[in-house]
Amino acid sequence: RNLRFVEEADKSIYIGFGALSDTYLNQKKIIELALEYKCDGIYPGYGFLSENSGFAKKVTSAGIKFIGPTPEVIDLMGDKKDSKVKMEEIGIPLIPGYHGDEQSLEILITQGEKIGFPLLIKATAGGGGKGMRIVESKLDFEQSLLAAKREAMNAFGNDKVLLEKYITTPRHIEVQLVSDGQGNHFHFYERECSIQRRYQKVVEETPACGIDDKLRSQMCETAVRIASNIGYIGAGTIEFILDESGDYYFLEMN
């Protein structure tokens, strides 16, 4: 409450003390306050309700502008499986893998053998490394799958997984985007996020070192093509994996 941006606001409203469900995640209370103070827009910030399509729908239904992507785009790009299907449709390079609906052990093992080991089991609703396991051989597959599904269900309430070829020396490159809602999509170049601990970024650096202008241009143009094809609005980040041979693949969007 003593931070400068709070002091500089025309009005600041204390939403109470207690559990997140009663405060920052209390959708009803936030919308009621916005209506009471005659706000014409709600910006959800980072985390909390920022990628919650249900909240975006409630804001819009209340006659308030949701400052961010449409609920449909939040749902599409928030799901690793659905977003990969969409990227396939528009010809965006993907890491070789399996993101089908069939989730039986037999199907997943068969698909895993086709991809080859090592591979990555990844929760479709996941993030932050939760519901993710590296599998070195077929012998480890079942145990790793069960562990990933358990963790995903606990963290996200959804135990669906996808499989990806594990790139052993990856670089993590992100492209920042802003789309203005009038059909214009702009990139603001790339940043390198390869220095990580437990799948969480520790250092982000821009420009990314060791990337030439041609590759930089290709990656940034691919990010803009994604934003354009999904009808994006607002600020967003396209994440790519870059392998040792200089090939890059869509990872996810935030």
pLDDT in the model for residue 199: 79
Phi-psi region for residue 144, left (φ > 0), alpha (ψ -120 to 50) or beta?
Answer: alpha
Sheet holding 200-205, edge to edge: 200-205, 185-197, 171-179, 234-242, 248-253
In the DSSP assignment, the letter for residue 180 is -
Quick one: which of 52, 5, 8 has its CA closest to 30? 52
pLDDT tens profile 146-159: 999 999 998 888 89
∠148-154-155 over CA atoms, to 5°?
Answer: 85
pLDDT tens profile 33-65: 999 999 999 999 888 898 899 999 999 999 999
pLDDT in the model for residue 118: 95
Query: Of all residues in the chain, what percent are helix, strand and coil, respectively (each to 5)?
Result: 35, 25, 40
Strand partners, 123: 161
Position 126 pLDDT exceeds 80: no
Quick one: which of 93, 106, 99, 101 has its CA closest to 120? 99
More confident of the two residues 129 and 49: 49
